[in-house]
Structure 1
Amino acid sequence: MTTTQRETVLARLCTAFDACDNRLGGSVRRVVGAVGSGKTTLLEAFNDHTSRRGSVVMSAIGSRAERDLPLGVLSQLVDTAGLSRESARRMTALLERVVPEEAPPRPDADGTAHAAGHGAGGSVTAPAVHELFMSLLDLAKERPLVVTVDDAHHADDASLHCLMYAIRRLRCKRIMVVLTESPTLRDAHPLFHAELQSQPHFAGLTLGPLPEDALGAHAEEPAVDRPGLPPAGELLALTGGSPLLLRGLIDEEPGAGPRSADTSASRPGGPFDQAVLRCLYRHEPEVRATARTLAILRGPASPPMLAHLTGLETECVTKALGLLRMCGLAGTDRIRHPRIARAVLADLPAEESRRLHRAAATYLQEHGGEPEAVAGHLVHADWAEPSWAVATLHEAARQAMAKGRPDLTGDCLRLAARATTGASRHADMDALLIRCSWQINPLSVTAQLDGLREAVAAGHAQAPAAVAAVPLLLWHGRADTAKALLTAFTEGDGPNAADGRLSAVRLLTSLAYPDRLAEGGAQDRPVAGTGTATSAAGRQVDAVTLLADALIPERAGRDVATTAERMVQRYMAEPGALGTLTAPLVALLCSGMSDLVNAWTRVLLDRPQIHRSPVWKGILHAIRAEAALRLGRLGQAEEQARAALREVPLEAWGVAAAAPLATLITAATESQLFMEANQWLARPLPADTFRTPLGLHYLAARARFHAATGRPQAAADDLRWCGETMRKWRMDTAGLVPWRLELARVLLGAGDRAEGTRLLREQLAEGRGVDQRTRGATLRLLAAEAPAAEAEALLTEAVDVLENCGDRLELARATVDLGDVLRRGGDADGARGMFQRAQQLAQSCGSPRLAQQLARAGSEPAACPPEGHGGDGALSQAQLRVAMLAAEGHTNREISRKLFITVSTVEQHLTRIYRKLNVKQRDELAHLLSSARAGAVPREA
């Protein structure tokens, strides 16, 4: 029913009424529409129209519950006519005389026995019916009479007999009859309908479903105050054009209604679910049974299959499917939408649900159904008794894991495990169960890992479970157990030798814990040969080999970034390849391709299957957080790292917790939110964390915090620890941790220019695995220690490099440094443009405090020591701000609060200021600054 169609049907009814009002004869109109199609609303609008025109309106509503009440509909008509007391008493007396005769009961569609028919084939007291008709004519003498019956298919037979008596005599009367009906499995009043359609003044009208444009128009009506409703296309998919379902959707609380196929986004039992059940219970029991079976199956179902499961005739099921399609609950061969299926299943008793699932599993197994479909029903029925059940569950578990469904994999394997014991257990299935359980909750596999450790110690470990558990052992910091497993199994042992899974986990262990299995790094193959494997094990070897190429500089010389992106593109389409994709994403990150990592992780996080694996989703959030941090997007980095910890609680991350924590610490430090950074630093980590590359990443973040809060010695210690460990592990690459650059920041800030400069030049040396981001930041710091002419060239190159790699934060700092050099060289316009651009970049980073600092830097003159003072250089931007506040008489604590730095940092700045300006106390400093204002050179690390 389009909007115009509804208006057209109403207009036709009104036209027929106008003819009746103008004494052109009575008429009968029958409006047929599916349950929930808006027939009642239409009838109410028509009654309202005729009432305003001065007609006498008699209305009634048919009900399944009152179908056996003789003259129940006719009594409603009399009660609603607005008669005087005398007329009402006379009509009631007439109704009492219309007494149905006894007849054998007739069965209804649901098998219930009802009173005998009194329709066209029955009989009532004819004189009383005639007197009743004459009374109706009396009502229509002065004004037209309108008789409307909603849901006439539920009317009692005696009332319909009386109506038909009147309908036969309407041609010259001012009486109009309007009936609304919904299609049913079986026509409850076939003789009545046959005679009705033979009347010359009869016409039938039809209400269809709302089309897409009408649904959108309804949702946009001023009375509909529900922001966030789906677009018209989704509304059609969800409601099938049913006005009843659309109204239920609109009535959902904002934010709680169905917005997509994801049923978790909506509140169960809400107005939409209630609308579904209202629609369902207005049909016969056979229709409800068909809908429930469709909901159980969740997929396409043929009429023979439905007939078998429901115990109904195929013809009956076919008609029921048609009725469900008409009312918007079903499509061609399935329930239309998951929200509808959920509402139907919520109304299904538990025992009946299990029975249907058992029946569905058996039918599908006997007719060659997919193992996943069969296993799904077995799991819902909690039933593994048939002889074929365990094998089907195992095969379904393999298929589900390949499709990225660890939830279904675990359900299948746990059900199968309860049905098998001892020698019948499958080691590869136990391994699969560990893997899928870990993907949902890493803490859930602790008991299995403990048992595996005991099995290794006793020499009873099975190769499939052992090899599959190695990555999980590494995650939980149990490197010793992992090493023992790898020592116990050689490449020639067990069924895993052929597919190379043992090689993959050996290399992974050597990368994750280099001091535990250093010899694993020697087992490799050229990266040029990766990305073409066809087996799952081969892809794992490819991915881990590529990661080794990215982390170990001596393996460099191959285009790791290009191969990594090709690998991501190839495996992106495979639902179960999320684990394989992690290694090339990290390789891209270490190669300086943070923008690509940010883009690919966004695509992966939007895929539906990622929501079934909280661990892989958390890992992707953590990788994207680090990519955002390396792009200088502090707000996004914090948001993504927090999302990672929401998906997987911190205690479940094992040693990998260092990754999101390091990102959060660095983002808070760069935003000068030192209390927040300190809170993240207070979170505990497993002891073995610092024996992994991720632990070094965490150390670098902690060092950045120490340096920013005035503890340069602690920062230097952490960074030297990083450097020594990375050299020992042969992972001395800036893509992992640019420890030379970070240590140089600390040393230059502490005044050790010689060592700081040496480290910067060493960082740029060939063979250090320097990505463009590290190169740009290194050039910027070198420029700070170079003469003015050389500094401008270095900063210009740094700006170009950082702009190409996308690090907004370092680019903002390099840009403001270049602006200061230009300003000191007399290029005021060029400097102003640089300062403005730097401030915009800082704002886009999500660092308001840095933006404020850069804004002040652009508004102040260049910093130079006053003439006559033997200072050893210009004041930096930070030093100038501290000097001016100290000269104004502020205490160190007041200065720390105003500048959002620690008291220790204030003290260090004052020490360097006194040395540069050759003064000994604040009074001299105030006198000096009053005679020559100092500007700022922003050289903050």
Structure 2
Amino acid sequence: MGIVERQEQLASFATALAECQAGRGRLLAVTGSLASGKTTLLRVFTERAAAAGLHVIRATGARTERELPLSLVNQFCHDFPFEIFNGNRAELVREVHSTAMRHGQRSAVPGSQLATMLHKASVTLLTASERKPVVVVVDDLHHVDPLSLHSLLYLVRRIRNARILVVVSGGDLVEPTDPQLYAELMELASENHLTLPPLSRRGVGELLAEALGDQPCDALVDACARASGGNPLLIRTLITDLQNSGGFTVDREGPILPARAYTSAVRRYVERCDPLTRRVLAAAALFDRCPPAGPLTLARLAEVDIEAARRALSSLESSGLVSGGWLPDLRARQAVLDHLPTAALTNLHLRAAQLLYEEGSAPLPVARHLLAAGWAPDWASPVLSAAAEALLGTGDTELAVALLRLAHDGARDDVERAALKVALFQAEWRTDPAAAGYRLGQLADAARAGRLSVAARVATAHGLLWLGHTAEAAEVLDGLAGLEADAEQRAEIRFFTVWARFTHPGLLGDEPEEPQVPRCSADNVVNTRDALAHALETVLAKGPNSAAVVAAERALPRFTLRGSGMASHAAALTILVYADHLETATLWADRLLAQAGERRATSWQAMLTAIRADISLRSGQLADAQRYAEDALGMMSRESWATAVGVPLSTLLLAHTARGQLDQAGRLLDQPVPDAMFETVWGLHYLRARGCYYLQTGRAAAGLDDFTTCGDLMARWNFDLPALVPWRVHAAHAHLELNQPEKARALAESQLTQLGQEPSRTKAAALRVLAAAGPLAQRPTLLREAAEMLRACGDRLELAHTLADLSQAQRSSGDFHRARMTVRRAWDLAGDCQADALRRRLLPDVDDTVLESADDTDTEALNSLSDAERRVAALAAQGSTNRQIANKLFVTVSTVEQHLTKVYRKLNVTRRADLLVKLGPRISNIA
């Protein structure tokens, strides 16, 4: 590659060359940072001098020859042309060699002998320059031995009126062999001193263009400029690496990936630095962009004085390797640190950690140095724990666990060690509950010994329950009851006790007869967790109500996804789901899923995805329910799911069954499940799902057995909650299949007596069974009432089944026109839900000609609606009141009423209920 941005230096050399030829000798010095292109520039100087007819004598200082006397003069002698010595070159070489040998053996060299030798060599050069101008080129002057420096000084002082040009180069970051002689030489060249600055961005672009054969893109130029700092050697190595990688591609931000050539150059760079600079460079290599390291920090870390650190840092920055007190490229930092012995590197990291800690740095940089050193001093545990907490917030669980393990190893006492075990357990639980579970035995022992806080005991009990260790969990929970705790801790204990009573109903015996009212604090504020516990107690005792829903909605934004907070979110979502507030539950489940994904907390993602699957199932979105359930099962192993595997597995079973995919459902039932699951609420879900599969496959007796088992367990646990598992409704369906309508009717009536006056999906399902078991004349009324409830709560699948039953009742009553309209609506809803099993049941009753005609008529009527009328019709069909529609569309109630009047006329309907039947599945595409 050619010379870039060195025109000024070349011009100065041309001037010096002309002066030399005119008989005005001089010393020309070229200085710059390491690898700034000095050697390349001297090579160009040499070539131009030789081309101009001058005789060139070359010599180079070398690190390995710093102690070799007269190494420079020896090189000169061998480069002298034979003719300028008049045949006496061999004699001069012998004198130089003899002097060097005596000096190297530490023998005294007589001053007269040395002076004679220097005089003879200088006179020979001066005489030769009279015949032909001479250029003496010395590269890496800083490595030249002291005796050679002395000889060079002797010559330089005598060339003022000779045709001799002496050109030397020296580096900034290397200690000269004799600083005094070196400085004296540089002083003599003060008027002819050429400094090589880093290349500008334009210069970097020129080098890239030369290598590419074309103009590089701005991103590539910027990336190379940042990585090299304008250092020519580093730029050339980057180009080599880019060429070896097969291209010059950069990403959106323009970084490049230095490879072998670049790192090799950095290693050579480090080797050429003096020890002091190397220490400062190693200190700088420990830091990344944040926090930036200033001269004082680097001086303390490198154990040098501040001025020396400033000088070294200035030279390093001019070299392009260091920028703002740090090395921008990770590979460069590693190449620098690789030169340090292991013990020295460990001590350097420990000093860096101590220094940053004393300066009040953020925990994470301190923790990284401690981890690199593999050692935690007495003060380190809080810092490591805080850094791990920050990493968990960003999803870097692996590094957080490593920091917590280091803190655990350096814990000061058993109490601190136990707290760190809990933190480790919770961090590992995020990604693999089964792997984290091996710590539970130690944590249970620590709880018995009284070394765990309230929060730690709650986390331990939660893990024990999840993995099916109910006896140990009960012991830990019993220990919580006797603890002295503040208001916050009491709320946490109460919440977890209620949650454990919900997930494992038989664990703690009978639940309280009446929910405990949340206590207010001194400033009359109710603790959020206490309020959520009260809401969950209300659901368990009386079923979901509006107050419980409000408490759940208030709790969701106040808890963060951390530690045992997942239980609080699961409880709040459970309340919303059981209260049929599916839209709100969906909104929050999706929001929490996004947060769990950002934190890369696999176990949280899996549980939230399972809840999301249940919401989709209850909404009649079978394909979504199946997808979410499959995703949830795939996120963790069965060992990690443990007893909670019943949540996604039950949803997937029900989705497959409703979609008519009975083979897939059967294969799921072939998979073993933990026996401990049947001691949990998730076991009830599984029994219900298996029973529904048996019903669908014609084994009603087996299904009835599963449903009654649910009832027996719920009765034994004093946990008969229809919103959770309406086992009576399912058992009634089984009795209908077994041709036992009276038993079915009794179960349906019993279910209805347990429900309040408020409409719900469970009440609608019970009305549907009651209609099937009752007289034909009562069926349409009961089924229409059930359909109205299902439209309000958004259960499209149960609505499809209800409409299917209604169409049969209408057909049996002779109302064929309404039967055709109703069966079409049931058919459309079943298709929208992808409920293929229901569609197969309806197929014999579907008249394609009538459906096509009705579809064409409805499509034409729908097209006649304006955009505003379409939006109002969609919201009204979905159950919104006129005022709710007005609020959503930002119009007046009067405007809504006017739109509805026009909609009724155009669609030929008289009430809201007919809108849903008339518009069919098009509603989802209208608003």
For Structure 1 versus Structure 2, the TM-score category normalised by the shorter chain is 0.5 to 0.7
Counterpart of 2:121? 128
Does 2:405 match 1:411? yes
The amino acid that maps onto 1:686 is P
User: Partner of 1:689: helix, strand, or coil?
Assistant: helix
Contact 1:504 1:540 in 2 (8 A): yes
Any idea what SS the aligned residue of 1:9 has? Answer: coil
Distance 2:375 2:276 in 1: 27
Judged with a 3 Å threshold, the aligned counterparts in structure 2 of structure 1 residues 218 and 624 are, in CA distance, closer, same or farther, namely farther
Structure-2 separation of matches of 1:640 and 1:737: 26
User: Aligned in 2, Cα 1:438/1:559: closer, same or farther, shift over 3 Å?
Assistant: closer
The verdict on how the C-alpha distance between 1:449 and 1:771 changes in structure 2, with shifts beyond 3 A counting, is: farther
Structure 2 distance, partners of 1:137, 1:625, is 97
Equivalent residue, structure 2, for 1:284: 274
Distance 1:676 1:76 in 2: 87
Q: What is the rounded CA distance, in whole Å, between the counterparts of 1:130 and 1:459 in structure 2?
A: 94
- 1:618–1:103 CA distance, 2 compared to 1 (3 A): farther
Alpha-carbon contact 1:62-1:155 (below 8 Å) kept? yes
Native 8 Å contact 2:140 2:169 kept in 1: yes
Given that 2:376 and 2:406 are in contact with CA atoms closer than 8 Å, whether structure 1 keeps it comes out as no
Q: Is the 8 A contact 1:20 1:175 kept in 2?
A: yes
CA distance 1:18–1:39, shift in 2 (3 Å): closer
1:335-377 CA distance string (max 9 Å, x none): 6466655555555434334434555566667777778777776
Q: State which of 140, 150, 171 in structure 2 corresponds to 1:181.
A: 171
Question: Aligned pair 1:654/2:654, yes or no?
Answer: no
Supply the distance in 2 between the matched residues of 1:826 and 1:72 (Cα, whole angstroms).
102
What's the counterpart of residue 789 of structure 1?
821
Matched, 1:314 2:303: no
| Partner residue, 1:393 | 381
Distance 1:310 1:204 in 2: 31
Per-residue deviation, residues 803-846 of structure 1 (Å, max 9, x unmatched)? xxxx9999xx99x9999986464749979x99xxxxxxxxxxxx
Q: C-alpha separation between the residues in 2 aligned to 1:453 and 1:427?
A: 10
Following the alignment from structure 1 to structure 2, what is the Cα–Cα distance between the partners of residues 295 and 76?
A: 38
For residues 751-766 of structure 1, the aligned pairs below 5 Å read 766=789
| Closer, same or farther: CA 179–487 of 1 in aligned 2, 3 Å | same
Q: Is the 8 A contact 1:507 1:521 kept in 2?
A: no
SS at match of 1:555: coil
Q: Deviations over 1:442-495 (max 9, x none)?
A: 445545533565788999998665333111112212233323332343276356
AA in 1 matched with 2:491: G
| C-alpha separation in 1, matches of 2:728 and 2:593 | 26
Counterpart of 1:9, as a letter, is: E
- Map 1:250-289 → 2, pairs under 5 A: 251=241, 276-289=266-279
1-structure distance, mates of 2:132, 2:226: 48
Q: 1:456 to 1:102 in 2, by over 3 A?
A: closer
Contact 2:454–2:489 (CA under 8 A) maintained in structure 1: no
Query: Do the aligned partners of 1:681 and 1:702 also contact (CA within 8 Å) in 2?
Result: yes
Q: Within the alignment, does 1:519 sit opposite 2:511 as a pair?
A: yes
Alignment partners' CA distance in 2, 1:207 and 1:439 = 52
CA 1:97 to 1:550, structure 2 compared with 1: closer, same or farther past 3 Å?
Answer: farther
Cα deviation, 1:496-520, whole Å, max 9, x if unaligned, reads: 8745221232132133223434638
Asked if the contact 1:588–1:594 (Cα under 8 Å) also holds between the matched residues in 2, the reply is no
Q: Which residue of 2 aligns with 1:206?
A: 196
Amino acid paired to 2:65: E
> 2-side partners of 1:783 and 1:168: how far apart?
119
Query: Identity of paired residues, percent?
Result: 22
Task: Write the mapping of 1:76-91 to structure 2, written as runs, cut at 5 A.
Answer: none
State how far apart, in whole Å, the 1-side matches of 2:705 and 2:54 are.
93
- 1:213 and 1:576 map into 2 onto residues whose CA distance is 57
Counterparts in 2 of 1:307-706, with a 5 A limit?
307-327=299-319, 330-333=322-325, 336=328, 341-345=333-337, 347-359=339-351, 389=378, 393=381, 397=385, 400-401=388-389, 404=392, 406-407=400-401, 410-411=404-405, 413-417=407-411, 419-420=412-413, 431-432=422-423, 434-436=425-427, 438-439=429-430, 442-443=433-434, 446=437, 448-450=439-441, 465-490=456-481, 493-494=484-485, 498=489, 500-517=491-508, 519=511, 554-557=543-546, 567-568=556-557, 571=560, 591-592=582-583, 594=586, 597-598=589-590, 601-602=593-594, 604-606=596-598, 610=599, 615=603, 641=632, 644-645=635-636, 649-657=637-645, 684-694=672-682
Indicate the residue corresponding to 1:879 in structure 2. Answer: none
Structure 1 unmatched runs, 5+ = 107-112, 835-936
Q: 1:294 to 1:192 in 2, by over 3 A?
A: closer
- After the TM superposition, which residues 17-96 of structure 1 pair with which residues of structure 2 at under 5 Å, given as runs? 32-35=31-34, 62-70=61-69
Distance across 1 between alignment mates of 2:706 and 2:339: 62
- 1: CA distance between counterparts of 2:835 and 2:133? 86
Q: Which has the larger radius of gyration?
A: 2
The amino acid across from 2:309 in the alignment is V
Q: CA RMSD in A?
A: 7.2
Most deviating of 502-511 and 321-330 = 321-330
CA contact (8 A) 1:296 1:353 kept: no
Deviations 1:9-38 (A, max 9, x none): 244455557778999969987665544556
| Preserved contact between residue 621 and residue 643 of structure 1 (Cα < 8 Å) | no
1:304-342 Cα offsets, whole Å, 9 max, x none, are 555455433233233334444445555545564666555
Cα distance change of structure 1 residues 203 and 788 upon mapping to structure 2, 3 Å threshold: farther
Once residues 15 and 794 of structure 2 are traced to their aligned partners in structure 1, the CA distance between those partners, rounded to angstroms, is: 87
Other structure's SS at 2:309 match:
helix
Q: Mark the CA change 1:427 to 1:150 in structure 2 (over 3 Å): closer, same or farther.
A: same
Alpha-carbon distance in structure 2 between the residues aligned to 1:583 and 1:781:
35
Native 8 Å contact 1:431 1:469 kept in 2: yes
Q: 1:575 to 1:331 in 2, by over 3 A?
A: farther
Secondary structure at the residue paired with 2:546?
A: coil
Q: From the superposition, tell whether residues 191 and 639 of structure 1 become closer, same or farther in structure 2 (CA, over 3 Å).
A: farther
1:505 partner SS? helix
- Cα distance in 2 for residues equivalent to 1:775 and 1:723: 21
If each structure's helix is expressed as a fraction of its own residues, which one has the higher value? 2
Q: Tell whether the 8 Å contact from 1:97 to 1:125 is kept in structure 2 after alignment.
A: no
CA contact (8 A) 1:507 1:523 kept: no
Could you tell me which amino acid in structure 2 is paired with residue 516 of structure 1?
L
Aligned residue for 1:68, secondary structure, equals: coil
CA distance in 1, matches of 2:293, 2:786: 66
How many pairs are equivalent? 775
CA separation of 1:290 and 1:455: change in aligned 2, threshold 3 A: closer
Q: CA deviation at 1:697?
A: 6.2
Change (3 A) 1:456 1:273: same
Partner of 2:746: none
Equivalent position SS for 1:204: strand
Amino acid in structure 2 at the alignment position of 1:789: M
